[in-house]
Amino acid sequence: MMNNEHDHDHDHTDPPSDLELRVKALESLLVEKGFVDRAAIDAFIDTYEHRVGPRNGAKVVAHAWSDPAFKQWLLTDATAAIASMGYTGFQGEHMVVIENTSQVHNLVVCTLCSCYPWPVLGLPPVSYQSSPYRSRAVADPRGVLKEFGTQLDDDIEVRVWDSTSEVRYLVLPEHPEGTEGWNEEELAALVTRNAMIGVETAKVPEDMGGHDERRP
Amino acid sequence: MNGVHDVGGMHGFGPINPEPEAEEPVFHAEWEKRLFGFRFAVGALGKWNIDMSRYARERQHPADYLRHTYYENWLAGLEKVLVETGLVTAEELATGKAAGLANEDIRKRVCKAEQVPVAMAKGSPATMPLDVPPRFKIDDRVRAINRHPTGHTREPRYVRSCVGVIHAHLGAHVFPDRSAEGVREGQHLYSVRFEASALWGESASAKSAVYVDLWEAYLEPA
């Protein structure tokens, strides 16, 4: 029905699903009743689609790798240290940063819903929201890590952090070797979203195609 | 409640099949995006808190909860709190037609676009002052109490009756079990370390531990 109503020229072969219609109807209802302002809705979307995301967290990690005093602050008062870089707000009001070392690997999950540190990582990926991840991360973390291609030595302790409160956890990945002289922007490129959830380790310089090639 | 949202340790969901990070969009459909935005905007009216919102999602039929994606569960939860707080009637939801408009009190609180950056940066802290000293200290052995409240709780089933050690005191935080009932009450919150073997017995992953944030009412000395 709706396909016939609009006349722009790109192809719409699929009719909108019941879900799309239900969401559209609810938005219209809330606007009509005067509960929400469409410009505010757009601003919320724009914030999380374009401004807040895992590049924020990568900058925090790169800064910690470069500055021992900042790293110490981050590990003792993560909320304040992260706020000093301008990252605050919903789902990041109470931050704790946990450090990966040669002895310990940390992994974050929320078994009860999908709590995730939005100001530094943005919205959670589908894998993090999924029942397979939420059910198994606490009971079979080594199996979960393998599914992300992360193989840990048997003597490394795995610590899983279940985000059951409003405290949000961010993993500080281990600083890879071979980055002497790199600036923070270059270091941040090694820090993936998955490394800050703890399902992977940070990239290594070899993954980036060599130091010289990274420079413009 | 012993709901199906409490999936920690369950079997049978199959592989995770993560999308490659570099290719994964923030939203996977236009409707997810719109829902995300207007849920935030209507939430800013302050008619419910995060625990009421979680409890609304958890009270879906277990089969529906598991079948739904993350954002479908958000939608189901939002519809429920909208009706329960009286913002929208069941009939309005069904027909999509407004039977009444926002009153003056609500209109004053509608979030404007220019307020969004400030609201986002401020967030909604869960800590609160508390006169009572914490009952437990670091390294104390504690047992997660075997409790099965029918209301909202953040004590996952897989830790109940298990013994762990206090790793950190996280301050006094809003207690979710009461918060879901609309009562803002502070309680000491701890990070508790459980050895994997204490939780999973013989099937525990080698050399691993699980840290769970637990409120004082969930814990007893062990």
The low-confidence residues of chain B, meaning pLDDT below 50, are none
Taking a C-beta distance cutoff of 8 angstroms, is the pair A108, A171 a contact? Answer: yes
B-chain CB neighbours of A147 within 8 Å are: 15-16, 18
**Percentage of chain A modeled with pLDDT above 90:** 88
- Which residues 127-146 of B have a C-beta within 8 angstroms of A? 127
A89 interface with B at CB cutoff 8 Å: yes
A-chain CB neighbours of B19 within 8 Å are: 125-127
Question: Which of A33, A48, A95 to probe by mutation at the B interface, max B CB count within 10 Å?
Answer: A33
CB–CB contact B8 A113 (8 Å): no
Q: How far is CA B199 from CA A16, A94, A184, B106, B164, in A?
A: 46, 27, 40, 47, 9
Catalytic residues of A: 110, 113-115
In sequence order, the β-bridge partners of residue B144 are B219
- Domain boundaries defined on chain B: 21-122, 141-221
Give the model confidence (pLDDT) of B110-137 as tens digits.
999 999 998 888 899 999 999 999 999 9
Pairing mode of beta strands A167-172, B141-144:
unpaired
Q: How far is CA A51 from CA A47, A54, A101, A120, B26, in A?
A: 5, 10, 30, 11, 11
How confident is the model at residue A209, as a pLDDT? 76
CA gap B138, B143 in Å, rounded: 14
Taking a C-beta distance cutoff of 8 angstroms, is the pair A141, A152 a contact? Answer: no
Q: How far is CA B15 from CA A89, A127, A211, B132, B205, in A?
A: 33, 10, 36, 45, 17
pTM: 0.94
- Count interface pairs A-B at CB distance under 8 A: 272
Count of positions (residues) in chain A:
216
* B21-122 CATH fold: Cyclin A; domain 1 (1.10.472)
CA gap A199, B83 in Å, rounded: 39
* B141-221 CATH fold: SH3 type barrels. (2.30.30)
Q: How far is CA A124 from CA B5, B34, B54, B215, in A?
A: 17, 17, 16, 25
A100 interface with B at CB cutoff 8 Å: no
Residue whose pair of structure tokens reads 């009001």 in the numeric block: A93
CB–CB contact B209 A157 (8 Å): yes
How confident is the model at residue A11, as a pLDDT? 52
The dihedrals phi and psi of B188, each to the nearest 5 degrees, come to -65, 140
Q: Could you write out the DSSP letters of every residue in chain A?
A: -HHHH---SS---SPPPHHHHHHHHHHHHHHHTTS--HHHHHHHHHIIIIISSHHHHHHHHHHHHH-HHHHHHHHH-HHHHHHTTT--STT-SEEEEEE--SSEEEEEE-SSS----HHHH-SPPHHHHSHHHHHHTTT-HHHHHHHTT----TTSEEEEEE--SSEEEEEEPPPPSS-TT--HHHHHTT--HHHHHTSSPPP-GGGGT-HHHH--
Tell me which amino acid residue A58 is.
A
A48 interface with B at CB cutoff 8 Å: yes
Domains in chain A, please, with CATH? 16-50 (no CATH), 54-214 (3.90.330.10)
A2 falls in which pLDDT band (50, 70, 90)?
A: very low
Give the angle A137-A141-A142 at the CA atoms, nearest 5°: 155
CA gap B65, B60 in Å, rounded: 6
**Percentage of chain B modeled with pLDDT above 90:** 95
CB–CB contact A29 B97 (8 Å): yes
Residue whose pair of structure tokens reads 């879906």 in the numeric block: B60
Taking a C-beta distance cutoff of 8 angstroms, is the pair A91, A115 a contact? Answer: yes
CB–CB contact A162 B112 (8 Å): no
How confident is the model at residue A1, as a pLDDT? 36
A16 falls in which pLDDT band (50, 70, 90)?
A: confident
**Percentage of chain A modeled with pLDDT above 70:** 90
Pairing mode of beta strands A157-162, A104-109:
parallel
CA gap B207, A165 in Å, rounded: 25
- Which residues 108-127 of A have a C-beta within 8 angstroms of B? 111-114, 122-127
CB–CB contact B45 A37 (8 Å): no
Give the model confidence (pLDDT) of A122-144 as tens digits.
999 999 999 999 999 999 999 99
How confident is the model at residue A47, as a pLDDT? 94
A150 interface with B at CB cutoff 8 Å: no
Token reading at B158 = 């897989």
